[in-house]
Amino acid sequence: MLKGSCERFHISSEDKAAMWMYILALVVLYYVVRWFRELERVPERGSKYVYITGCDSGFGNLLARHLDKCGFCVVASCFTEKGEEELKKSCSSRLSTIHLDVRKQESIDKAAIFVKELVGQKGLWAVVNNAGVSVPSAPCDWLTLEDYRSMLSVNLDGVIGVTLSVLSLIKKARGRVVNVASVFGRISPTAGPYCVSKYGVESFNDSLRISMHAFGVKVLCIEPGFFKTSVTDTDIILRSLKRIWERLPQETKDDYGEDYLSKVETMIEKKLTKMSDGDLMKVVSCMEHAVSAVHPRTRYSPGWDAKLFWLPLSYAPSCVFDYLMLKDHVKPAKAVI
């Protein structure tokens, strides 16, 4: 009886091969259909306004230029006058610039009034929360609460503040909110407030997406890997690290050893240079798709390191993650393990 039952449910090698071919065909079909579906772009771009933060350099600067060429009416916020002037020179008359310090509510409110007067009754098609910083960054016991607050005020509070300031305009247009988080909003390979801030952006993004669904507002997230921007600039990171080291109490310096900083500097210069991708358009293309596609994706993860290493690692057991992060880690002088 048992033997007969086993024989009845036996799958031949030919059936297994056919099953895998069927699965492969379904996967290919899914991606082909998705590719065609995502080609469609929104009409009447010339009447759609896109508000972008952090346009002095990097992703924000390139996105402002790119969307201007695509025909959108861009409102590019910059932290410096130089950033505003350079964008105006290189873009069409459709592009408007404004000063914005995302750390200050009065600056956010002033920018929101400017945007409201500009878009009128049509509302705001999209806001792209791109402004962000990567320092201070250091081992957790080197930092103070104020270090965390200074970064969270830009990377998290700024995202929330800017979004809420124009959300009613986006609801009116049934538009989009595009939040630039990071693959490090999924996993924390570095110490300090950066990952904390990006985890917060991910959480805000998810809760806002659910809240705005009933109003036809799409909320989308960009999760880049390592790219060559000011966020991964080794000079900025190392200068910040040295300033933090210099203020540490001698007891903490003794714990880590006088040569710890130089070893970390060597590791950072080697790894960031090797891992950082110089093709910023990989990220900008995802941002543009999130803004202009009729059917955008909920999440974008530009960068092969994000797709093939960091995201898969975020689903791995903690023991695997810890091993990979610690195997090349610079050990403190008084390490006990």
Q: Which residues are catalytic?
A: 194
- Contact between 139 and 188 under an 8 Å Cβ cutoff? The reply is no
- Contact between 301 and 307 under an 8 Å Cβ cutoff? The reply is yes
- Contact between 51 and 73 under an 8 Å Cβ cutoff? The reply is no
Which residue type does 194 have?
Y
Question: Phi then psi for 248, rounded to 5 degrees?
Answer: -65, 145
Q: Is 234 exposed, middle or buried (0-12, 13-18, 19+ CB in 10 A)?
A: middle
- Contact between 157 and 103 under an 8 Å Cβ cutoff? The reply is yes
Q: Cα–Cα distances in Å, from 252 out to 256, 300, 313, 327?
A: 7, 40, 31, 23
- Contact between 181 and 198 under an 8 Å Cβ cutoff? The reply is yes
Tokens coding 227: 């790219």
Which positions ≥6 away from 85 have C-beta within 8 Å? none
Look at phi and psi of residue 121 and say left if phi exceeds 0, alpha if psi is from -120 to 50, else beta: alpha
- Contact between 232 and 134 under an 8 Å Cβ cutoff? The reply is yes
| Cα 46 to Cα 149: distance, rounded to the nearest angstrom | 39
